[in-house]
Amino acid sequence: MSFEKFYVHNGQSWPLEQVPVMDEASFRREILKSCETGGRLVNLFGYHAQDKNLYLCAVIGMDQEGKLSVFAARMPGGQVHFESLTPVLPQAHLFEREIAEQFGIIIQGHPWLKPVRSHQDYSFYEIRSEETHEVAVGPVHAGIIEPGHFRFQCHGEEILNLEIQLGWQHRGVEKMMAEISLERAMLVAESIAGDTVIGHGTAFCNIIEALSDTEVPLQAEMIRIIALELERLANHVGDMGALSTDIGFLPVSAYFGRLRGEFLNLSMELCGSRFGRSLCRPGGVLFSLGPEMIEDFRRRLLKAQKDFMEIAELFFSTSSVLSRLESTGRISRQTAEELGLVGPAARSCDLERDVRTDYAFGMFRFQHIPVSTVVSGDVYARALIRRLEAQRSIEFLLEALDQIPSGELLKKPSALKPSHMALSLVEGWRGEIAHVAITDAQSRLMRYKVKDPSFNNWIALSLAVRGAQISDFPLCNKSFNLSYAGHDL
Amino acid sequence: MFSVILHVSFALFFSPLLLGVVAKTKAFFAGRWGPPLLQPWYDIVKLFRKGSVYSTTTTWVFKLTPVAVLATALLSCIFIPLGTLAPPVYFWGDALFFVYLYGLMRFFLIIGAWDTGSSFEGMGASREAAFSCLSEIILFMDLILLVMVSKSLVLCNMLNTSFFSSWASMGPVLILVVISFFLVLLVENARIPIDDPNTHLELTMVHEVMVLDHSGFDLGLILWGSAVKFFVLGSILISLFIPRHESFMAGMVFFMVGMALLALTVGVVESIMARLRLNSVPHLLTGGFVLALLGFIVILLKGM
Give the domain ranges of chain A. Answer: 7-108, 173-450
Q: Would the CA dihedral through B193, B194, B200, B202 be positive or negative?
A: positive
Report the 10 Å Cβ neighbour count for A306. 11
Q: Which amino acid is at B101?
A: L
Record: contact B271-A133, CB cut-off 8 A: no
Residue B260 CB partners (closer than 8 Å, separation 6+): B21
Cα separation, B160 vs B236, whole angstroms: 10
Nearest CA-CA distance, residue A160 and chain B, Å: 15
For residue B171, is pLDDT > 90?
no
Q: How confident is the model at residue A176 (pLDDT cuts 50, 70, 90)?
A: very high
For residue A3, is pLDDT > 70?
no
Q: By percentage, how much of chain A surpasses pLDDT 70? A: 99
Cα separation, B89 vs B3, whole angstroms: 9
Q: Give the helix ranges, DSSP H, for B30-118.
A: 39-48, 60-77, 94-115
Instruction: Please give the pLDDT value at position B241.
Output: 85
Q: What is the pTM of this model?
A: 0.91
The count of residues in chain B is 304
For residue B303, is pLDDT > 80?
no
Least confident of A47-51, A351-355, B140-144: A47-51
Q: Which of A281, A278, A285, A300 is nearest to A404 (CA)?
A: A285
Q: Which of A142, A247, A258 sits opposite B275 (nearest CB)?
A: A247
Cα separation, A260 vs A241, whole angstroms: 9
Per-residue pLDDT, averaged over A338-351, amounts to 92
Could you tell me which chain B residue has the CA closest to the CA of A138?
B202
The CATH superfamily holding the domain A173-450 is Cytochrome-c3 Hydrogenase, chain B (1.10.645.10)
Per-residue pLDDT, averaged over A67-90, amounts to 86
Between residues A123 and A216, the one the model is more confident about: A216
* Contact by Cβ (8 Å): A427, A405: no
For residue A1, is pLDDT > 60?
no
Q: How confident is the model at residue B224 (pLDDT cuts 50, 70, 90)?
A: very high
Least confident of A76-80, A228-232, A300-304, B86-90: A76-80
Instruction: Please give the pLDDT value at position A2.
Output: 57
User: A47 and chain B: CB distance < 8 Å anywhere?
Assistant: no
Best-predicted range by mean pLDDT (A22-26, A34-38, B160-164, B259-263): B259-263
Least confident of A116-130, A183-197, A242-256, B20-34: A116-130
Q: How confident is the model at residue B263 (pLDDT cuts 50, 70, 90)?
A: very high
The total number of structural domains in chain B stands at 1
Name every chain B residue with its beta carbon within 8 A of the beta carbon of A134: 119
Record: contact A135-B201, CB cut-off 8 A: no
* Contact by Cβ (8 Å): A447, A437: yes
Name every chain B residue with its beta carbon within 8 A of the beta carbon of A142: 200-202
Mean pLDDT of chain A: 90
Q: Tell which A residues from 308 to 367 touch B, by Cβ distance under 8 Å.
A: 318, 320-321, 323-324, 328
Nearest CA-CA distance, residue B64 and chain A, Å: 26
Record: contact A248-B120, CB cut-off 8 A: no
Q: What is the pLDDT of residues B123-135, one digit of tens each?
A: 999 999 999 999 9
Could you tell me which chain A residue has the CA closest to the CA of B29?
A251
Query: What CATH number is given for A7-108 in this structure?
Result: 3.30.460.80
| CA distances (Å), origin A181, targets A174, A176, A191, B298 | 13, 10, 15, 83
Instruction: Please give the pLDDT value at position A79.
Output: 67
Cα separation, B42 vs B50, whole angstroms: 13
Nearest CA-CA distance, residue B87 and chain A, Å: 37
Between residues A46 and B245, the one the model is more confident about: A46
Cα separation, B205 vs A447, whole angstroms: 46
Long-range CB pairs of B109-112 (<8 Å, 24+ gap) are B109/B65, B109/B69, B109/B210, B109/B211, B110/B210, B111/B61, B111/B65, B112/B61, B112/B62, B112/B64, B112/B65, B112/B66, B112/B210, B112/B211, B112/B214
Record: contact B200-A143, CB cut-off 8 A: yes
Name every chain A residue with its beta carbon within 8 A of the beta carbon of B114: none
Q: How confident is the model at residue B201 (pLDDT cuts 50, 70, 90)?
A: confident
Mode of pairing for the β-strands spanning A21-22 and A67-75? parallel
Domains A7-108 and A173-450 share a fold: no
Cα separation, A114 vs A137, whole angstroms: 19
Instruction: Please give the pLDDT value at position B304.
Output: 55
Q: What is the pLDDT of residues A131-142, one digit of tens each?
A: 998 998 878 888
Name every chain A residue with its beta carbon within 8 A of the beta carbon of B272: 251, 318
Element (H, E) at B198: none
Q: How confident is the model at residue A188 (pLDDT cuts 50, 70, 90)?
A: very high
Mean pLDDT of chain B: 90
For residue B104, is pLDDT > 90?
yes
The count of residues in chain A is 489
* Contact by Cβ (8 Å): A233, A263: yes
Cα separation, A174 vs A312, whole angstroms: 39
Q: How many CA atoms lie within 13 A of B172 on its CB side?
A: 9
- Which of the residues A124, A249, A250 would you substitute to probe the B interface, choosing the one with the greatest number of B C-beta atoms within 10 Å? A250
- Which of the residues B25, B201, B207, B211 would you substitute to probe the A interface, choosing the one with the greatest number of A C-beta atoms within 10 Å? B201
Q: What is the pLDDT of residues B276-291, one digit of tens each?
A: 888 889 999 999 999 9
Q: Tell which A residues from 51 to 110 touch B, by Cβ distance under 8 Å.
A: none
Range of the domain at B249: 2-302
Q: Which amino acid is at B152?
A: S
ipTM: 0.87
